[in-house]
Amino acid sequence: MSDANTDAETPQLYLITPAEFDLSAFPDQLAAILDSTEIACVRLALASHDEDRINRAADALREITHARDVALVINNHFVLAERLGLDGVHLCDGTRNVRKARKALGPDAIVGSFCSTSRHDGMSAGEAGADYIAFGPVTAGALGNAEAAEDELFSWWSEMIELPVVAEGGLDLAAIARLAPLTDFFGIGDEIWTAEDPQSALKTLLAPLS
């Protein structure tokens, strides 16, 4: 995850896996997308707490991502991240575990923090050692949130804070177009995985960037 955005730069893409997927089919689906689109990072976001299932999924995706020099992080399980040879962790609980994850994983691992719509949490997570902050959803009702991360939050962050920011949740064509000058990464997940052809859905969603 690299430096903060400027108006001249196109946001990078951060791909978030479905909460559940078929291990016999999804790795090939992911590989096809990574081969056709430049992706900076993939997040393993399984909802399962079955360690064996998570391990098998991580092993399969690590083989796909690392062969293509794409970083792979995992939701929350920073102990597993180190054990499975992943590139880091994405913490879904704001600032709570940032220091603990950084201490466990060391200075070179990626530690990201989802801070919903809270500017304060974002700054606190950055001070605690996060490499990037994610805000979202950008559309009210997405991710089960009644409140949306407003464009003004991304605008303020891009002007005032050097730490990279990810916009995720409820992305559509209009949001991509509006937020392109204001965010460093677009975190894209269910927007494409619920489609019949995720690769085509991604291409359509990214049309405003071309």
Residue type, 58: A
pLDDT band at 184 (very low <50, low <70, confident <90, very high): very high
CB 189 within 8 A of CB 168: yes
3-state secondary structure of 77: coil
Whole-number pLDDT of residue 2: 56
**Does a structural domain hold residue 188?**
yes
Structural domain span for residue 172: 12-209
Alpha-carbon distance of 5 to 159, in angstroms, equals: 9
* Pairing verdict, β 165-168 and 132-135: parallel
4 within a domain of the structure (yes/no): no
Residue 17 lies in a domain: yes
107 preceded by cis ω (within 30°)?
A: no
Give Rg (Cα) of the chain. Answer: 16
Tell me the CATH number at 159: 3.20.20.70
Residue 195 falls inside a structural domain: yes
Residues 98-111: pLDDT tens digits? Answer: 999 999 999 999 99
Domain annotation covers residue 27: yes
pLDDT digits (tens, 9 = 90+) for 93-145: 989 999 999 999 999 999 999 999 999 999 999 999 999 999 999 997 766 66
Alpha-carbon distance of 145 to 131, in angstroms, equals: 24
Domain count, the chain: 1
Does 5 map to a domain?
no
Sign of the dihedral through C-alpha 33, 65, 192, 168: negative
Q: Are 98 and 125 in contact (CB under 8 A)?
A: yes
Decide if 1 is inside a domain: no
pTM score, two decimals? 0.94
Residue 6 lies in a domain: no
